Amino acid sequence: MGVPEEASRKRKATDTPEDGASSQLVIQFFNQKEEPVGCQFSVPKAISKAQLEQLLLQITETLGAAFAASDAKGAEEVLRVSFSPLAAFRVSPLTRCSSALPGLGSVASDGFTKAPCPSRVLRRNSFSMLLPAFAMAGNFGGHEEAILAAAFSPEGKRLATGGGDTSVRLWDLNTETPLQTLRGHSNWVLCVSWASHGQLFASSGMDGTVCIWDADAGALVGPPLKGHTQPVVSLAWQPLHLVSSEDVAAEAIADSPTADTTAVPAAKQEASQSGGKDDCEATRSNSSSNKNCKAKGKQLSAAAKGPPRPRTSSLWKTRLGFTLPSLLLASGSKDGTVRLWRVGQQQALRVLALHTQPVTQIKWSGGAEGYLISGSRDTTVKVWNPHKGTLVKELKGHAHWVNTLALNSDSVLRRGPFDPRGRTERPFTSFAEMKEAAQRQFDQFLKECGHEALLSGSDDSTLILRRIKGNGLFEEVGRMTGHQKLINCVCFSPDGLTIASGSFDKSIRLWKGATGQYLATLRGHVGPVYQLAWAADSRLLLSGSGDSTLKVWDVASRKLKHDLPGHADEVYAVDWSPTGTHAASGSKDRILRVWKH
């Protein structure tokens, strides 16, 4: 569909005296490239804009011949009507879908033929997609309710999703197949988040619990974490390069026939561990700070200093071949609290409870101070010291709920030690190597951007950009206005140069990452913008909306580059892999779509 624009100021129109009908006009449509569309038409002089739109639709459907004027008129006798396309209403098929996976026991209605495959049905068809640069890698079913969360692993090889059916699902991007269906929640899964080493990920939901999953084993790492009294809406992992030597108080205690068995007790604590097929046992008592382990006839020992504290630890298996640290995980809830957990422990280490309204989002900064930042419906943003559990700073300025937060370091913290181009010279052989690689990438980010920055978006339709200066100092750089309704999502480009904000006013706005200066407004959605995701090279932006569409925007030209069709209902979840090779969208229609770029 197009929107006709009055263009009589460019070229005068005259009546058509030849047929004696002074109430008639002869018009010619022109597209944005100044190319004529269809032939000349004779129409009533009193034709309305809506009637012109209907006429244009018929022309583009090759029905225009029925309205053709009997004789062509000279250029000065033809009314020039320019129009521009609205991509939300038309999809032009150009390329082909590679494959798709249906839901469990479901039958597709789009013409795919079924062929038997191990544990699934693979459907193939010449279903057309919009663009040559994006091909659908898969159309994944399996969730029985709306897909509410989706997140790629740091190395970009796996995808985790959560849905209204209470399940968490894990997908392999190389084989385009489901890996695991994970059950642990009793209500909707609202959030999934990966630890930056890629071996664990967490999920949270309406039931108020947090589940930590071993991605390789497809199993829970201990029972679900309980303590919140309301839905848990946001998760944030401790950045890998901030893990201290005290946090890495875990020793490999046995070799298993199937995988390496690792123990992960927290530092400076009393712990006792045993189990496994190798009958391995490790103890640390009040009288001694040494811990010993016998496995397969070999003596292993490690020393730990400090007063013992009664805590428990956890065991899980990993294929990395070395011990992983016991990372910290933060969870934010509608009960107004932020809880800090250590992997393998059932009790929260800290409960941060100074918000007076629900917490909406939390972030963990990568600076030396390692601030934990929370936004809330109480209109404030609070900055915490996660290790002491103390409030560092309360940031005010919004007049209504704080809905969303973003750090300009989000991308580099998310991928941790992994190369953003997806290239790894060799596998990591120790956690120290992983930590060093993560630190190197964060240092490079600081060298290029100069500092970390915090952005908050609110129901008051404004954004506030602040520079994180350390020592509890947050310098307000600017307040960004322009959106007409609440701001639902914000994100920095991976290079930190551009900010994107999505709103219920159906628009996306671009801003300078350093100053908050307005750059452009991207229009095309006809419903609220729910989610945004950047490509790894910062050149493209992906948006999901309540209008059921997924759009790709060219940031340099400030124009719509691609319209990815296919969803039949609102798009709730959007993500782009850290390597830039895949994008994913989850919808109320219960379908997960994965795109190759």
Q: Token pair of 353, please?
A: 């409870």
* pLDDT tens-digit series, residues 517-573: 999 999 999 999 999 999 999 999 999 999 999 999 999 999 999 998 879 999 999
Q: Token pair of 43, please?
A: 């129409």
| pLDDT over 70 (residue 24) | yes
Segment among 109-118, 300-309, 326-335, 403-412 with least mean pLDDT: 109-118
* pLDDT tens-digit series, residues 195-215: 999 999 999 999 999 999 999
Mean pLDDT (the chain, rounded): 77
pLDDT score for 326: 85
Q: Where are the alpha helices (DSSP H) in 30-140?
A: 49-60
Longest dimension (CA), the chain: 112
**Structure letter (DSSP) for residue 186:** S
Domain segments of the chain as ranges: 2-85, 253-318
Confidence label for 59 from pLDDT (cuts 50, 70 and 90): low
Nearest to 518 by CA among 478, 551, 487, 556: 478
**CA distance from start to end of the chain:** 27
What pTM, to 2 d.p., does this model score? 0.70
More confident residue, 176 or 246: 176
| pLDDT over 80 (residue 419) | yes
Between the CA of residue 569 and those of 24, 147, 326, 539, what are the distances in Å?
A: 43, 11, 40, 27
3-state SS of 108-126?
CCCCCEEEEECCEEEEECC
pLDDT score for 141: 60
* pLDDT tens-digit series, residues 492-508: 999 999 999 999 999 99
Confidence label for 120 from pLDDT (cuts 50, 70 and 90): very low
pLDDT score for 466: 98
| pLDDT over 80 (residue 99) | no
